Every structure is written in C-alpha cells, then in structure tokens.
Amino acid sequence: MARPALFRIWRGNPEGGAFQDFKTEVDAGMVVLDAVHRIQAAQAPDLAVRWNCKAGKCGSCSAEINGMPRLMCMTRMGQLNLDMPVVIEPMHAFPLIRDLVTDVSWNFQVKKKIKKFKPRTPDAPDGTWRMRQADVDRVQEFRKCIECFLCQDVCHVLREHRKYDEFIGPRYFVYTAALEMHPLDTESRIAGLKNDHGVGYCNITTCCRQVCPESITITENAIIPLKERVVDEYFDPFRKLLRIIR
C-alpha cells in the first residue's frame, strides 16, 4: 500500500554539505535503495549513490540509515518508522566523494599489508591437497564477506579514534582469520596482528557482528580466536612451556 514518506538525505562533497528533505511515495515491499532511486529519478537527478546488484551481494550501497550502518538494498521500508523522517547519510568512517558515495580505497591498501596464503607442500604427487570438510567449514563462514565495509564503518576504533595507521579493522581480522585458520596454511600472522594490525585495540563491542549483512559472527569466530592466538604466543607462559616440553 503506497504512503508518503519523508527522506532526509545528506548532500555534499569533501568541503561540506547539509541534509536535504525529499518527500516521495513508498510502496509495500520497497527497500531504501528503491526510494533513493525514485527520488533520484523524479527530484534530484544529480544525487550520487553507489549501487550495483540490489541483492545484498555486491556491498556497494553501504550507508547509514537512521544512524546505523546498513545496506540500502537490504533495508525494507517496512522496518523503519515512516512517521519520522528517514535519515540517510554516507558512511562516516571514510572520506566523502559526493552525497552518499564514500572513498573506501583505504581498505584495499590495508589488505596488501596482510601476509598472503602459504600452503604446505602438496599431499599427493599430482600436486593436490587433502582437507577435512569440517576444517574447511570453519573458515568458509569468513568467505561470505561481501566487503561492504559496514563493520569498518561502525567500529569505534576507526570511526571515533581514527586509528587508521595502527588498526586494520574487523573486515581484515576476518580476512586474516580465514588465512590463519586455513588447514593448509603454514604462514604465521600472529606477530603482525599484535604489533602492526592492532588486534589489541578491539574492545569487543560486537558492533561489527551486529551490522554484518552476511551475518558473519565476526567477533566470536574471527576476532576473539585471533586474540586468543596472540595470548598463546605472548601472554601464556604455561602454554609456551607445554609446547617446549612436547
């Protein structure tokens, strides 16, 4: 059933900007991205918005809707209180390009700093490996990441404290966990996690897990296990002793 709704959308560029109000009709089943497209088509053809698949799989339409980082294409209008203006802002943790579009290239620079996958020597003469399905399943969850960077946006270490040089953020802890826990991998990234990638900055707010559109259990399955591996290496003399004895 169609009904009018008020959208308060951030318009601006790196120098500054302001919210602009748009009234439009919303229909049953619409998502926020549909409404933004309707506004773009009828009222603001110069409104910049990045999108691609409209199916929650490309991670392009990340924004902040009523203050929470979300994918515009996965936020149904029915989830929002339309008696109040729907506030749409670009992600706060990344430099603004225009309107709702941010420059997320910092993330791709971070990825380059993480040690690459280094498999053990092949298990079979034909150069192939053998892995147990259960071990593969454990890291498979991390491969669901669509790199929408909502977790990076909501993480207060980046968003509030701007530790861009010392902290790689939840997305790249997930990436590191996928490599570090891989049954074939032989590389160690523990020293890097502690010293350069700032896993110690994470204070387990679980905000990253709460905003993940792929429902990856970021905090419990990726970050905490990495923190525990750092503890194994640097803060647990008993375990170290046990390893020497063995």
What is the radius of gyration, based on Cα positions, of the chain? 21
- Of 7, 22, 51, 94, the one binding another protein by CB under 8 A: 94
Assess 192 for contact with another protein (CB under 8 A): no
Distance linking the first and last C-alpha atoms of the chain: 69
Q: Where are the alpha helices (DSSP H) in the chain?
A: 32-42, 105-112, 133-140, 150-154, 156-159, 170-180, 190-195, 207-211, 224-234, 237-245
Assess 89 for contact with another protein (CB under 8 A): yes
Are 114 and 122 in contact by the 8 Å Cβ rule? The answer is no
Are 44 and 17 in contact by the 8 Å Cβ rule? The answer is no
How many CA atoms, within 13 angstroms, populate the side-chain half-sphere of residue 49? 27
Residues in 126-155 at the binding interface with another protein, rule: CB under 8 A:
132-135, 138, 154
Residues in 3-22 at the binding interface with another protein, rule: CB under 8 A:
12, 14, 16-17
Binding-residue pattern over the window 150 to 189 for another protein, x denoting contact by CB under 8 A? ----x-xx-xxxxxxx--------------xxxx-x----
- By C-beta, is 56 or 183 nearer to another protein? 183
The tokens describing 112, both together, are: 């380059």
CB of 195 to another protein, least distance (A): 10
- By C-beta, is 42 or 193 nearer to another protein? 193
Q: Where are the alpha helices (DSSP H) in 22-155?
A: 32-42, 105-112, 133-140, 150-154
- Positions in the binding site for another protein (CB under 8 A): 12, 14, 16-17, 64, 66-69, 81, 84, 87, 89, 92-96, 103, 106, 109-110, 113, 132-135, 138, 154, 156-157, 159-165, 180-183, 185, 198, 200-207, 210-211, 219-220, 224-225, 227-232, 234-236
